[in-house]
Amino acid sequence: MGNLSIVIIVVIAANALISFKGFSDFSFFEKYKFNIGAIVRGEKIRMFSSGFLHVDTSHLFFNMFSLFIFADVVLVFLGNFKFLIVYIGSLLLGNLLSLYFHKEEHHYSAVGASGAVMGIVYAAILLQPNMSLYLFFIPIPIPAYIFGIGYLLYSIYGMKNRVGNIGHDAHFGGAIGGYVITLILAPWLFEKNLLMIGLLALPIILLFILKKLNKI
């Protein structure tokens, strides 16, 4: 279970402060949200700032609670500085994938820390693949790697079918960020968890094959 280290406190506080500012200040929210048209015009700060804005308190709470649950594993294995590299790198890669998939949709907008949080989730799964997760709708624990693979497959389905008002591509991009950055920061995983690395790579490869075939 999560532990309130100083790094987690700072990240959650930054998300809360910036999100609540956005809740009460429409012009602030509009200025810093992810928007394709504005980013193409040169407002690159939105690639970063949008990861600290949220639609409402439930959106903020869900992301921060998910971060709280998984952050400890990453902190224990990688330490504070590398945790931040994974978090910020995943945030940016999540938004880069959104930009790639929606580059022709200049009206497309999004906010939320989901990409960064998914990066931390996938880093934690790589670092401790045998940990068990309890999901609200499944009464028995499931291995983290099963959740990881299943969630990426669902994200592909969500991207293909535009399911809900959810940035599935940002989630997927964040997961790729967590996966790749963690392997760079912890190369010893190739000796210890090579099978797990291969299994988690399968949905990522599938996404880019489908994109290449114009199936998504």
pLDDT tens for 170-179 read: 888 999 999 9
pLDDT at 64: 94
Alpha-carbon distance of 64 to 81, in angstroms, equals 19
Alpha-carbon distance of 45 to 174, in angstroms, equals 18
Residue 1 is assigned to a structural domain of this protein: no
Ranges of H-type helices in 52-167? 57-102, 114-127, 144-161
H-helix or E-strand containing 135? strand 132-135
Q: Alpha carbon of 54 to those of 75, 88, 98, 114, 193: distances in Å? A: 24, 16, 16, 10, 35
Total of domains in the chain: 1
Of 27, 55, 176, the closest CA to residue 113 belongs to 55
Of 141, 132, 148, the closest CA to residue 182 belongs to 148
pLDDT at 1: 46
Range 80-86, long-range pairs (CB < 8 A, 24+ positions): 80/5, 80/6, 80/7, 82/185, 83/7, 83/120, 84/7, 84/11, 85/181, 85/185, 86/119, 86/120, 86/123, 86/177, 86/178, 86/181, 86/182, 86/185
| DSSP secondary structure letter of residue 193 | -
Diameter over CA atoms, the chain: 50
Alpha-carbon distance of 78 to 39, in angstroms, equals 32
Average pLDDT over residues 85-109: 94
Is the CA virtual torsion 104, 174, 157, 207 positive or negative? positive
Question: Does the structure show a pLDDT above 50 at 141?
Answer: yes
Residue 186 is assigned to a structural domain of this protein: yes
pLDDT at 3: 52
Residue 127 is assigned to a structural domain of this protein: yes
- In terms of residue numbers, what domain contains 48? 6-212
pLDDT category at 138 given cuts 50, 70, 90 is low
pLDDT category at 159 given cuts 50, 70, 90 is confident
Residue 165 is assigned to a structural domain of this protein: yes
**CATH number of domain containing 171:** 1.20.1540.10
Alpha-carbon distance of 185 to 179, in angstroms, equals 10
